């Protein structure tokens, strides 16, 4: 049976569940995006890295230790880097118990598994290439998986997907390979640097602690590669006061571990 659709994409600013609803379910798992869906959130965020045998998986750290039981399952394999394990090995790990016994047995999803679930949930995605400098060619490979899972269909590509990275080179590569895809640069370039970023990036996604009303206005004053004003999705805002502050600056999106707290703060404002 199909999953009930998530309903919430009417928030302004948009509310994006960071690594899924990661305050309530283990980050970057299918459970975390299902949790966001069940809470009524359409937008989710993830992190993508590559295994030893070249499979793309959903994981924030470049190390498996913090969010899986890798030390128990593979005790002799320190320092437990994602890139030192095969996809089959990673598929054996428990990515839920560290968070709560309730999520015991939750797995590290492959990118393809993850994209199928985002589709099934009728969700939209802020997709991050994490540490792409460790994984040469990951942009081309990631785009191939997105195409194969139906995510680069020209009618919807701009309304439901943003590909972002802290690496400007990675964002440039994505823009070059697929100029139709919306992109985001993670960081806080100076205002004088913004025109250079606006050539390949539709969004400038800065930490909420580094922005001001003037900076947000400066971002909006430039046009991105698709001829629309640059946008800003700020992160990671997990409390009402900072959510209202960011919204007051005019940001386009708020990336949060607690999407319910942010939505309530925006509605009660």
Active site residues: 18, 60
Least gap, CB of 166 to ligand G3P (angstroms):
7
Q: Which is nearer to ligand G3P, 55 or 128 (CB)?
A: 128
Shortest distance (Å) from residue 110 CB to Ca ion? 18
Q: Give me the phi and psi of 233, to 5 degrees please.
A: -105, 115
Comparing CB distances to ligand G3P, the nearer of 106 and 128 is: 128
Residue count of the chain, please give it: 269
Q: Of 210, 214, 219, 227, which Cα lies nearest the Cα of 252?
A: 219
Contacts 24+ apart (CB under 8 A), 61-67: 62/130, 62/131, 62/134, 64/90, 64/93, 64/108, 66/98, 67/26, 67/27, 67/28, 67/95, 67/98, 67/99
Q: How far is the CB of 249 from ligand G3P (least distance, A)?
A: 17
Binds Ca ion (CB under 5 A): choice among 34, 47, 55, 94: 47
Residues that bind ligand G3P in the complex, under the rule CB under 6 A: 18, 45, 47, 60, 126, 128, 186, 205, 235, 255
Instruction: Please tell me the count of residues contacting Ca ion according to CB under 5 A.
Output: 2
* Residue 121 interacting entry, from ligand G3P, Ca ion, none, C-beta within 5 to 8 Å by type: none
Write the CB contacts of 63 (distance below 8 Å, at least 6 apart in sequence).
79, 80, 81, 82
Sole binder of Ca ion in the list 128, 202, 231, 252 (CB under 5 A): 128
Which residues in this chain contact Ca ion in the complex, by CB under 5 A?
47, 128
């Amino acid at each position: 049976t199909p999953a009930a659709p998530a309903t919430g994409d009417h928030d302004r600013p948009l509310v994006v569940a960071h690594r899924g609803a990661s305050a309530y379910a283990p980050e970057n798992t299918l459970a975390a995006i299902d949790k966001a869906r069940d809470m009524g959130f359409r937008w989710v965020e993830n992190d993508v890295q590559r295994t030893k045998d070249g499979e793309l998986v959903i994981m924030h750290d470049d190390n498996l230790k913090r969010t899986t039981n890798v030390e128990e399952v593979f005790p002799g394999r320190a320092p437990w880097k994602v890139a030192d394990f095969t996809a089959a090995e990673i598929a054996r790990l428990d990515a839920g118990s560290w968070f709560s016994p309730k999520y015991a047995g939750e797995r590290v999803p492959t990118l393809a598994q993850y994209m199928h679930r985002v589709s099934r949930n009728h969700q939209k995605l802020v997709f991050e290439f994490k540490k792409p400098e460790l994984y040469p060619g990951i942009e081309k490979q990631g785009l191939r998986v997105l195409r194969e899972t139906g995510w680069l269909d020209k009618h919807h590509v701009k309304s439901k997907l943003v590909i972002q990275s802290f690496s400007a080179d990675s964002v440039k590569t994505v823009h070059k390979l697929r100029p139709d895809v919306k992109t985001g640069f993670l960081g806080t370039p100076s205002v004088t640097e913004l025109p250079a970023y606006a050539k390949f990036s539709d969004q400038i996604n800065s930490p909420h602690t580094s922005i001001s009303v003037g900076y947000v206005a400066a971002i909006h004053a430039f046009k991105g590669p698709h001829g629309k004003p640059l946008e800003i999705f700020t992160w990671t805002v997990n409390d009402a006061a900072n959510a209202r502050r960011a919204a007051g600056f005019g940001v386009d999106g708020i990336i949060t571990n607690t999407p319910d707290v942010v939505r309530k703060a925006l509605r009660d404002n």
